[in-house]
Amino acid sequence: MSLFKAKDYWSTSLSASDEYDSCGITVAHLTTLDPEQPQIITGSFEGVLRLHLPSEEASPRDLLLEEDLGSPILSVKVGNFVPTNTSDPPTVGLAVLHPKRLVVYKVDNSTPTLSLNKCYEHQLGVHGKHFTAANMCSGGFGSDPSREQICVQSLDSRIQIFDLDVLSFTRRLPNALLPGPIVYHEKLDSFITFNSLLDVECYSFSVLASAQDTLDSDDEEDKLKNLKSPNHPSNTSVSASKKVQASWATNLGESIVEIKIGSLEGVSKDIVCLGTKCIFALNDLGSIKWSKFLGYDTIGFTLFDNPKNPGSNNIIVSGADGNLNVYRSQRLIWKVKLSDPNSFSIATFVNDFDCCKGMITTLSDDCRLSVSYLGTESEKEGQVVKEGKEINYDDVDEEHRKLLGIIRASQSDTRIEPREKIIMRTQVPKRLDEPDQVHTFDGGFEHLADSAVRMPCIDGSEGVLRITAKLFLTYTGTGGLKDVTVTLNLPDSVMTKDTCIKIDKLKGGSATPMIIDIVFFANASVLPTIDTVGVTAMFFTASGEPRTGTTSIKLPLFFFCRLQPATKEPTFKFKLDTNKQPIMLAGLFDDMMDVLTDDERSAVDASGTANYVLTFRYWIADPNGVPYNATVLLSKTSGRYRVQSHHMPSLWFISSSLCSRLESYFLASEGPDSGLELTYNEPHLPLQDFYNCIDSHFISRQNLVHLLSLQNDCAHQFRTIQKRLLLRFKDRNAVPLNQLDVLLSETYHRLLEISSQVESAQWTITSTSNSLSCTTHLILLFIKLRYNLLPSSFTVLSSHLSPHISSTWEESTDLNMMTLLRTVLAKKNQDQTGNLNNNLVMQKDTNKLKKHISIVVDRIHKGASLSAD
Amino acid sequence: MAMGQYIWQDREIRFDAQPRLLENRSGEFIIDSINSVEDTKGNNGMRGSLVVTNLRILWIAHKGKHNLSIGLKTVLNINIRKAKSKLRGPTQALYIMTQDANSRFEFIFTSLVKNSPRLFTTVQSVSRAYKTSSLYRDLKLRGSIIRDQQLILLPLEQVYNKIPDAWNLSSDQGNLGQFFITNVRLVWHANLAQNFNVSVPYMQMKHVRIRNSKFGKALVVETQPRCGGYILGFRLHPPERLETILKEICSLHKIFSVNPIFGVDFHEEESAPSLDALKVARVDDDVEIVDGDTNDAFAAYYAEGSNGSDNKEITFDNDIGLACEKLPDGWNMSSLWNVAGG
């Protein structure tokens, strides 16, 4: 679709009952009536020849001549076809090709109106037989530009050459079943045509003239017979000297609509061939200079002078879509739609008229003849007025607002969430469930039974500790959802039977929310690190877009530990100062007190000490079978709390709970401006203990690596022995076993032994990772409290010194520390863009890591800020 | 002697015209009338009836004053394509592209009767019949209308008189030729060159009178300004015959005015039983409401912007090598092409 339209300077409708071919029109100076204005000559298949002289105001006068010639007109050409009596060159005349005749007229304008005077006429074919014309071309054949001769091609691809009123010769072109377009190439003195093998062929005029061709139809039949019998004596002699042969032929692989000779670069003459979809430029020798895929169905083309490069031509290709495409060589430089949008141009000419140079003459498929020029205003859509033709301005404003909203939403970076979403709510009971029988885990969940925490049931038998949380799902959209998947992201210390819950159907709208009971079990083999379970619901919208909703379940403290009578074994301890009045511990941990049995409560609160000291017992026990515990002490005079334990990782969970409880207590009682300050009140950070923890984790990793390598060696040895034994087993005259069988069984036992060691090493890694995770959490808490880090800085630090222990924690943390040191914590004059070694290779020891952590803590101590601002 | 009335019905497009302009003029007759046709372009959702006469296509809304009168001469082409109708949804519709003076208008009509090709067939065949019979209505110069000194007659035409020795005075020396006076037109051709001829239908005559010229008294035929406003002078020999010829032409023109022949002939292949007996004549209100505001009904039908009026100068573009519309200063064709995203 072109943006521009051609504008008509002049146009007229030829008779609606006529039909035209692209050869049936030419634009030329045929009469001397108006030397500035060329005439448009059209000849229809109905036999009507017309001469039009375009004028500014279209009027009936523009038709100069209309004559019914009585038989169909295939082609019209203007050239110097009229012989003169003297030695002067021939004068201008009009050649009209009918199927059986070629007539040359001279246009006489001596009378008030023009009249056609027939100069001469040729009956085509010998005696007018067996020759039905298809098309013609003209030119100074034989390199004689002074006299224009005519070449007529028949429907069966024979050509007849006429030199003015004399028939020169008739030849058959080989390889052509149907006539293709034919043109005369002046420089080569050759005809360029297109045959049924999809070849463009070049026939030299001199070769055609000197070759002998059989004219008689009888002879032709003979010749065909000769061709069929190769042993015929005359066959070789005929083909040797007299056969018409093409100078060259080039296969274009596409049917050619039209051929023209022109110069596209202004250097030499090119042969321009228009295919049904492509355009080709060939040089004198027939090799393809370039071809261009046009991308539309072509109808015809014309060449015209390129004023920028005199001597060269631009191209106009007419497409079946009604566009005229203007090319300079291969580049599209303009595209224009015909003024009548529903038609296309079957023939296009560019001529200089007296109104302007370079006017385009087109003959459209519905017989409209127009002389037009390029419009430069873009095509406007017809304005459509709504039915009733009364504009409701409120509606228009509303629509405008809505559109502006859409535009704004698409321009802003934040995308607006669709309204349809899943909202989830959770409810956690204030008490643990009644302990259940161990066979809770029947049905594929037996593996949980080993690490689940045991509790006495009411009837005295052993049960399992568990809590049932409720998850409420609501879908806000209309209709319903199918196949919603709810996924639980559990911390190590929490277990459940199924982490993935599938919901077949979820009703939408105001339907009552769907309730799912989720039973959690505590894990007795690890220390708790965090108390929240992540919940993600995933679904697909009606349009197939995946969407999610998330929430989290905060499990209560009593799910992870229980109070016990106070113990005082302070191997590890730290003080936490507040700037507020002390809060009684029994009140602060009231939920813990509530779940106790009466016996337990009296034991814990033996002499009313529960307000000042509480000892929390985790489910996990140390190697001696004594459960890990942590104790919180409150100073009676000031808001100072002390947390202590004989096992450093155990401090973390209780400390974090204490901090969050203090914060939420003061938030509830005094509001957000309570000004609560928690301070870590010890001279040093317990970095050495942290390093020990790192070391034990690192050693367990090293141990595992060592064991795995041993296992590998052992397995290799086992396989080698096996192979040798098998060889001997197959061998007829086997050599003695030489104790290989003993070796095999020894190796096998050793392999089993190492494997069990690997298993225990893996378990050790799990437990040391758990300890390390807790310790890292604790150290982060200490750093945060001691140096009063901003939340943003704390996020940076905790994402670098990560409490989530991966399998390569030491290496990645070392790299993270170095990154911190080179970026936000870098000294000002230090190069910040040094290359870091990104390879995570297990180091021999952790000295470097420890050093780097120390430096980071040191820089934070000196007041360096971690956040960018 | 003055005569001649301008016939606009087939040459113009009128929007929301007064009801009396929609009535058939003399010589105009209804070829087909199709009920339940929607004007999909301008009055989408509105039902109306489409009336095809030998001169124009009329669309009249069943309710309200909306109507269209499309002269057949303005029709450029007719297509059948998909359109979106409010009353029928996406459906086949008749697209009529027209040109009136300098503006192009497009009309889309949808038949609301399912599977009825009548709308398409009637309009297309009537338009074709109109286009192939232009000699009945249009002035023609230098046409191929004479063969062997005889006029090639049109199907409904009869030669009433043939007058030899009629001189045409268009050129300085005058040309001897002869007149053919028929029931449709006046034809003159030169004896020496039969394509030196003129065919003037009575429809295009504005005045026919006798005037003095430098050659003496002459018969002067003046044509309607819409078809060029030519003044053709003829001298007859002997001059006394002028009066009789003038009288003959005038009376034939009078007959033509009462009962003109526009050349569009038709016969129905399968005709419905005569409805004339059943027809209730349309009673027009005797109150004519003349609109104060000149209506802008045509705005909806523009096929392109209404840029017909501002014809710009034509210049030769040295870059492309073709004639083009003159551009404002500071612009050239390649910069415009680049802006247009070519």
Q: Sorting pLDDT into bands at 50, 70 and 90, what band is B232?
A: confident
pLDDT for the residue numbered A237 = 39
Point out which residues pair with A182 in neighbouring strands. A193
Please name the residues in contact with B100: beta carbons below 8 A apart, sequence gap of 6 or more. B12, B13, B71, B74
For A173-195, what is each residue's pLDDT tens digit? 887 888 999 999 998 999 999 98
Rounded Cα gap, residues A151 and A424, in angstroms: 89
Distance between A415 CA and the closest CA of chain B, angstroms:
31
A667: contact with B, CB 8 A cutoff = no
pLDDT band at B9 (very low <50, low <70, confident <90, very high): confident
pLDDT at B276: 59
Please tell me the distance from the alpha carbon of residue A350 to that of residue A21, in angstroms, as a whole number: 18
Residue A217 confidence (pLDDT)? 45
Q: Does B153 touch chain A (CB under 8 A)?
A: no
Query: Residue B327 above 70 pLDDT?
Result: yes
B141-198 pLDDT, tens per residue? Answer: 888 888 888 888 888 888 988 988 888 887 667 788 888 999 899 999 888 888 888 9
pLDDT of residue A869: 54
Question: What's the mean pLDDT in B125-130?
Answer: 89
The share of chain A scoring above pLDDT 90, in percent, equals 31
- Does residue B170 belong to the interface with chain A, where contact is any CB pair within 8 Å? yes
Q: Check whether A564 has a pLDDT greater than 90.
A: no
- B128 close to A (CB below 8 A): yes
What average pLDDT score do residues A603-631 get?
A: 83
- What ipTM score was computed for the predicted complex, to two decimals? 0.76
Residue B2 predicted with pLDDT over 70:
no
CB pairs under 8 A between A and B: 166
Q: What is the pLDDT of residue A241?
A: 45
Q: What is the pLDDT of residues B78-101, one digit of tens each?
A: 888 887 777 777 788 888 988 887
Greatest alpha-carbon pair distance for chain A in Å reads 149
Give residue B269's pLDDT. Answer: 67
Give the model's pLDDT for residue A97.
Answer: 94
Give the confidence band of B310 by pLDDT, cuts at 50, 70, 90. low
For B332, nearest residue in chain A (alpha carbons): A376
Q: Tell whether the model's pLDDT for residue A459 goes beyond 80.
A: no
> Which tokens in the block code for residue A296?
């539309």
Higher pLDDT, A689 or A450: A689
Is residue A4 scored above 80 in pLDDT? yes
**Predicted structure pTM score:** 0.56
Helix, strand, coil percentages, rounded to 5, for chain A: 25, 35, 40
Whether residue A90 is preceded by a cis peptide bond, meaning omega within 30 degrees of 0, is no
Which pLDDT score, from 0 to 100, does residue A236 have? 40
Residue A282 pLDDT exceeds 90: yes
Is the pLDDT assigned to residue B281 strictly greater than 80?
A: no
Please say if the pLDDT value at position A352 is more than 50: yes
Q: Give the helix ranges, DSSP H, for A589-649.
A: 590-594, 598-604
Mean pLDDT (chain A, rounded) = 84
Tell me what pLDDT residue A327 has.
92
Confidence bin at A416 (pLDDT 50/70/90): low
Residue A488 confidence (pLDDT)? 92
Q: What pLDDT, on the 0 to 100 scale, is given for residue A749?
A: 94
Q: What percent of chain B has pLDDT over 90?
A: 6
Contact by Cβ (8 Å): B235, B169: yes
Q: A398 by DSSP, 3-state: which?
A: helix
Residue whose structure tokens are 């819409």: B226
Per-residue pLDDT band at A382 (split at 50, 70, 90): very low
Residue A234, pLDDT above cutoff 50:
no
Q: What pLDDT digit, counting tens, does each position of A119-133 carry?
A: 999 988 776 567 899
Which of B63, B60, B97, B92 lies closest to B77 in space, CA to CA? B97
Token output for B36: 């339940």
What pLDDT was estimated at residue A144? 80
The pLDDT of residue A228 is above 50: no
Which chain B residues are closer than 8 Å to A305 by Cβ? 321
Per the CB < 8 Å rule, is B193 touching A115?
yes
CA A705 to mean position of chain CA atoms: 44
**CB distance B333–A374 less than 8 Å?**
yes
pLDDT at B283 over 80: no
B299, B302, B327: residue with CB nearest A376: B327
Asked if pLDDT for residue A670 goes beyond 50, the answer is: yes
Between A40-44, A419-423, B46-50, the lowest mean confidence (pLDDT) is in A419-423
In terms of pLDDT, which residue wins out, A842 or A755?
A755
Please give the residue that has the higher pLDDT: either A447 or A232.
A447
Q: What confidence tier does A238 reach under pLDDT thresholds 50, 70, 90?
A: very low
Q: Is the pLDDT of residue A764 over 60?
A: yes
Chain segment A570-584, per-residue pLDDT in tens: 788 888 888 888 888
Question: Would you call B195 and A333 a contact, using CB atoms and an 8 Å cutoff?
Answer: no
Show the beta-strand stretches assigned E in A268-388.
270-275, 278-282, 288-293, 298-305, 313-319, 323-328, 331-337, 345-351, 359-364, 368-378
Chain A neighbours among B 192-221 (CB < 8 Å)? 192-193, 195-196
Q: Check whether A635 has a pLDDT greater than 60.
A: yes
